[in-house]
């Protein structure tokens, strides 16, 4: 498949002029740069408004005035990152073509400029770079899984994905609990952070009331478990509601009518995930009278069952990706990876190049997130470029 599309692409597109392929909406390169920039300013700030809204929601607590201002500054920076990446695709192609290559080729049309434009990740503060890298590595895994599936080497199913998520969660929660004792904690974006391993010990507790002295929380176990469940259930439902309601915000009556029971699935997943996790850890603490990071393994594994309520390929892989992130940051802390190496930034560039390349050349196996991301950030200019590619290929195919 890869070979075929490489040959096809080069036969159909290599001799194109850049306005025929890269900026089909205008002839002049300077014009293309300007219009692309304007589209991306709009698109990027719109996209990050959603991202920041969800992040604030997921934190589950109110923001003070100072934190709001801080978030707003970060939002502005992220916007610059997005619009630079989005708008530079066209400009870099025009420049590269004029300076280095006279023809479009499979690798230097998308892969190369999009790898270079990944350097814009320096607009983000270091801890956000790590989080963006985490997301993109996860998307690369998803892209690989989809590619393998297309080649017939494996088959995705909700059951298998749940198992992957359960195993991943077991590992990830264990590593997270170990990481809690580190001075330099890895910045992670997860549904919830498990508390530090409690140092208290006591006698085993029976019955359902009260708590064990070893429990890593203050209130009675039942309150602790139910509170977490309700909170994340609410967050899950709120996220689904936002996603369903925002496009229909102009017709509120219709919007509310469109809410269904199935919109609670995400809430069930979130709530169940934290609920089962807390339940298992509490039961183990009560039975043994002491806490241990190891409890995260059975707790993480079983809590992963909740994923079955709302399965999706990218989320099923996310605990594994985040585990790799923790291991990577330990590598930095232990000096296995020299601190000066810009490993995060380089990896980000590579992932971005690969994924955007997949968007154009292998649309059928490209993660949905990337397609939506490019569509939103470029205010649908990416789709215009994509259809120019497809048209060229079709024209070529039909002779």
CB closer to Zn ion, 31 vs 363: 31
What residue ranges bind Zn ion (CB under 5 A)?
Answer: 18, 29, 94, 211, 215, 221, 282
Q: Is the CB of 281 or the CB of 318 nearer to Zn ion?
A: 281
**Smallest separation, CB 113 to Zn ion (Å):** 12
In whole angstroms, how close is the CB of 17 to Zn ion at the nearest point? Answer: 8
Instruction: Say how far apart CA 269 and CA 306 lie, in whole Å.
Output: 5
Considering beta carbons, is residue 208 or 261 the nearer one to Zn ion? 208
Beta carbon nearer to Zn ion, 71 or 198: 198
Closest to Zn ion by CB, 137 or 388? 388
Angstrom distance (rounded) from CA 200 to CA 191 = 26
CA-wise closest residue to 169 among 53, 281, 288: 281
Residue 243 near residue 263 (C-beta atoms within 8 A):
no
- Total length of the chain: 399
Gap between the Cα atoms of 164 and 145, Å rounded: 12
Q: Under 8 Å CB-to-CB from 221, ≥6 apart: which residues?
A: 208, 210, 211, 212, 215, 278, 282, 286
CB of 279 to Zn ion, least distance (A): 9
Output 227 or 248, the one with its CB closest to Zn ion. Answer: 227
C-alpha closest to that of 279 among 339, 217, 341? 217
- The C-alpha atoms of residue 260 and residue 241 are separated, in whole angstroms, by 10
Q: How far is the CB of 22 from Zn ion (least distance, A)?
A: 6
Q: At its nearest, how many Å lie between Zn ion and the CB of residue 182?
A: 24
Distance CA 115, CA 354 (A): 8
- Tell me how far, at minimum, the Cβ of 268 lies from Zn ion, in Å: 22
CA nearest neighbour of 104 among 179, 176, 218, 20: 20
């Amino acid at each position: 498949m890869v070979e075929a599309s490489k040959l096809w692409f080069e036969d159909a597109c290599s001799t194109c002029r850049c306005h025929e392929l890269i900026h089909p909406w205008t002839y002049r390169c300077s014009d293309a740069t300007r219009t692309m920039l304007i589209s991306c300013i709009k698109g990027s700030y719109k996209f990050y408004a959603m991202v920041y809204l969800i992040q604030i929601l997921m934190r589950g607590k109110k923001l003070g005035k100072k934190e709001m201002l801080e978030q707003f500054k970060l939002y502005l920076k992220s916007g610059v990152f997005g619009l630079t990446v989005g708008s530079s695709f066209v400009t870099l192609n025009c420049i590269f073509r004029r300076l280095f290559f006279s023809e479009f080729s499979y690798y230097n049309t998308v892969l190369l400029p999009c790898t270079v434009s990944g350097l814009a990740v320096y607009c983000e503060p270091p801890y956000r770079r790590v989080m963006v890298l985490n997301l993109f590595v996860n998307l690369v895994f998803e892209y690989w899984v989809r590619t393998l599936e297309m080649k017939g080497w494996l088959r995705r199913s909700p059951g298998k994905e749940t198992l992957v998520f359960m195993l991943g969660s077991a590992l990830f929660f264990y590593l997270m609990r170990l990481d809690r004792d580190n001075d330099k904690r890895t910045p992670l974006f997860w549904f919830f952070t498990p508390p530090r391993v409690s140092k208290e010990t006591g006698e085993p507790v029976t019955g359902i009331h009260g708590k064990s002295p070893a429990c890593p929380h203050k209130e009675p176990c039942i309150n602790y478990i139910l509170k977490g469940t309700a909170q994340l259930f609410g967050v899950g439902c709120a996220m689904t509601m936002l996603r369903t309601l925002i496009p229909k915000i102009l017709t509120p009556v219709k919007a509310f009518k469109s809410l269904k029971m199935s919109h609670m699935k995400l809430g069930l997943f979130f709530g169940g995930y934290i609920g089962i996790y807390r339940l298992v850890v509490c039961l183990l603490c009560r039975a043994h009278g002491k806490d241990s990071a190891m409890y995260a393994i059975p707790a993480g594994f079983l809590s992963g069952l909740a994923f079955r309520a709302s399965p999706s390929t990218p989320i099923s892989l996310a605990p594994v990706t985040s585990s790799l992130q923790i291991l990577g940051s330990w590598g930095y802390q232990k000096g296995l990876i020299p601190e000066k190496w810009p490993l995060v930034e380089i990896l980000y560039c590579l992932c971005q190049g690969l994924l955007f390349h997949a968007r154009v050349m292998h649309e059928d196996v490209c993660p949905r997130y990337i397609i939506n991301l490019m569509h939103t950030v470029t205010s649908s200019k990416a789709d215009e470029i994509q259809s120019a590619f497809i048209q060229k290929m079709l024209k070529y195919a039909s002779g």
